[in-house]
Amino acid sequence: MLEIQPITGFPLLASSSLKIAIMFGVLMLAVAYATLAERKISAFIQDRVGPNRVGPLGLLQPIADGLKNLVKEEAVPGSASKFYFMLGPMMAMVPALMTFAVIPFAAPLPTPWGVVDMIIADVPIGILYILALSSLGVYGIVIGGWASNNKYAFLGALRASAQMVSYEVALGLSLLVVLMLAGNVTLTEIVWQQQQSNLWFVLPLSLGFILFMISAFAETNRLPFDMPEAESELITGFHTEYSAMKFSMFFIAEYSHMLTASALMATLFFGGWDLPGSWDDAFWYQGELIRGFDASGAPIAASPAVWKTLLTFAGFAVKTAFFLVLYIWVRWTVPRFRYDQVMQLGWKVMLPTALAYVMVVAGTILVLDQVGVSGFAFGMTLTGVSALCTVAFVFVLDRGRIIQGAAAGRRAASSKGASAPRQEVLAHD
């Protein structure tokens, strides 16, 4: 029986370095294979085959892509601002990779030197760190687009900044409900709270999850919000002038943002590495690794095991992969919004909905606390309230209001009194 003590001293340093190296490798591999998944799934959706020439089933395609981008010529436009042109892709990529540091990815791992937390840096500011870094990513896009000295790149960068600012607000507000329920900003604590209440936050905070997911799509510049790229309008937007590895770095940044957003959705709303049942629960409570509390409130010691770590990591990977596939699936289904529709959705739909939802959740928690409801009944009541909010959101707001865009007011004014459906006349000669 190994002693259940947190790892300290030199082994802590070694294990942290090892975790960073391994997670960086896993992340880069996952990003590479996310590009393959993107191409394969888009192919399947369009009844095509997808890449199938490099390796069995095209599985070596990402390596071929990477090698090709490494040996290609780096073209820097003559009129570009060279320093910032170089800085852009770096600033896009680094924050995208750094965000992953605070996401717990498995149950604690017991080793002969102590128990290792399966998180790179369990910083006390958790979600604040993620919010700060993920909005830093837009600077890479803006600097890259501006330094290119290209009107399309500039327009893409301009759109990126406006879109980020708009959706950051709704993203933050939809996170607020999670923080209220968990009572803490560290992600380990949020996972622990979900384990303790035997309820993943997606149920008591269903509308929060929907708002977070929509905002996350906008934050990662994925369709239907890929305004900064918008191939058909802006060539490829902010990275029009980029080639070879710098272009690749923008791509890595986009996919690692996707990966982080997927992992966040899994962690905040789907229990993170938690699997159903309390056998895998583990949390550092006053220096002890515990699994929960018994009826008298005394802590029950957890028993970490290697197989538990592996199994919970698999659970985390499956949840993250699900959202990654969802990202790709949505991208190849839904067409791009118009720019005014993006702004309208962000400011006139998402922001008020998120604000109202925060008020509703706060009020419900307050009332439940005053009445003295706790435990499972607490979660179920909140689930009911959230379900009502979701139904209201979908059935009341989603009546042409989500994508009406800037022309909405004018159209409503001009068609007032006319009961006939709007008609458009096409002339043929």
Q: Closer to another protein at the Cβ: 367 or 394?
A: 394
Question: Residue 391's CB: how many other CB atoms inside 10 A?
Answer: 12
CB of 336 vs another protein, minimal distance in Å = 13
Task: Please spell the DSSP secondary structure of 254-275, one letter per residue.
Answer: HHHHHHHHHHHHHHHHS-TT--
- Select from 7, 31, 32, 41 the one that contacts another protein (CB under 8 A): 41
Only segment of 40-48, 138-146, 160-168, 294-302 that touches another protein (CB under 8 A): 40-48
CA distances from 103 to 127, 314, 343, 348 (A): 9, 15, 30, 32
Binders of another protein in range 367-426 (CB under 8 A): 394, 398-400, 402-404, 408, 411-412, 421-426
Beta bridge partners of 111: 114
Look up residue 91 and give its amino acid.
M
Single residue of 45, 132, 300, 306 touching another protein by CB under 8 A: 45
Residue type, 271: G
Regarding 285 and contact with another protein (CB under 8 A), the answer is no
> What 8-state DSSP symbol labels residue 60?
T
Closest approach of Cβ 43 to another protein, in Å?
8
Collapsing DSSP to helix, strand or coil, 299 comes out as: strand
Q: How far is CA 78 from CA 86, 146, 156, 247, 334, in A?
A: 13, 14, 20, 17, 37
Q: C-beta of 237: minimal distance to another protein in Å?
A: 23
- Of 51 and 126, CB closest to another protein: 51
**Shortest distance, CB of residue 325 to another protein, whole angstroms?**
9
CB of 52 to another protein, least distance (A): 8
Identify the helix (H) or strand (E) that includes residue 111: strand 109-111
Phi/psi for 401 (5° steps) reads: -85, -25
Contacts of 371 (CB under 8 A, 6+ apart): none
CA-based nearest residue to 215, from 263, 164, 260? 164
Q: Which is nearer to another protein, 49 or 359 (CB)?
A: 49
Cis geometry, peptide bond prior to residue 224 (ω within 30 degrees of 0)? yes
The one-letter amino acid at 276: P
User: Residue 422 Cβ, how far from another protein at the closest point, in Å?
Assistant: 5
Strand 288-293 to 283-285 pairing: antiparallel
Which H or E element spans position 215? helix 206-219
Q: Is 279 in the site for another protein (CB under 8 A)?
A: no
106/402 with CB nearer another protein: 402
DSSP secondary-structure letter at 100?
G
Burial of 90 (0-12, 13-18, 19+ CB in 10 A): middle
The letter for the amino acid at 204 is P
**273/313 Cα distance (integer angstroms):** 6
Least distance (Å) from another protein to the CB of residue 40?
10
Contacts of another protein in 46-65 (CB under 8 A) = 46-49
Residue among 294 and 429 whose Cβ is closer to another protein: 429
* Residue 427 makes contact with another protein by CB under 8 A: yes
Nearest distance in Å: CB 20, another protein: 36
Nearer Cβ to another protein, position 313 or 332? 332
Q: How far is the CB of 428 from another protein (least distance, A)?
A: 5
Of the candidate spans 15-23, 115-123, 272-280, 327-335, the one that interacts with another protein by CB under 8 A turns out to be: 327-335
Given the complex with another protein, which of 59 and 403 has the nearer CB atom? 403
Q: What is the biggest distance separating any 2 CA atoms in the chain, rounded to whole angstroms?
A: 87
Segment interacting with another protein (CB under 8 A) among 37-45, 111-119, 146-154, 256-264: 37-45
Contact stretch for another protein (CB under 8 A) within 2-10, 43-51, 109-117, 298-306: 43-51
CA distance 134 to 141: 12
Count of chain residues binding another protein (CB under 8 A): 31
- Which residues, 328 to 367, sit near another protein by CB under 8 A? 329-330, 332-334
CB 147 within 8 A of CB 85: yes
Q: x/- binding map, residues 141-180, to another protein, per CB under 8 A?
A: ----------------------------------------
Beta bridge partners of 292: 300
List interacting residues with another protein (CB under 8 A). Answer: 41, 44-49, 329-330, 332-334, 394, 398-400, 402-404, 408, 411-412, 421-429
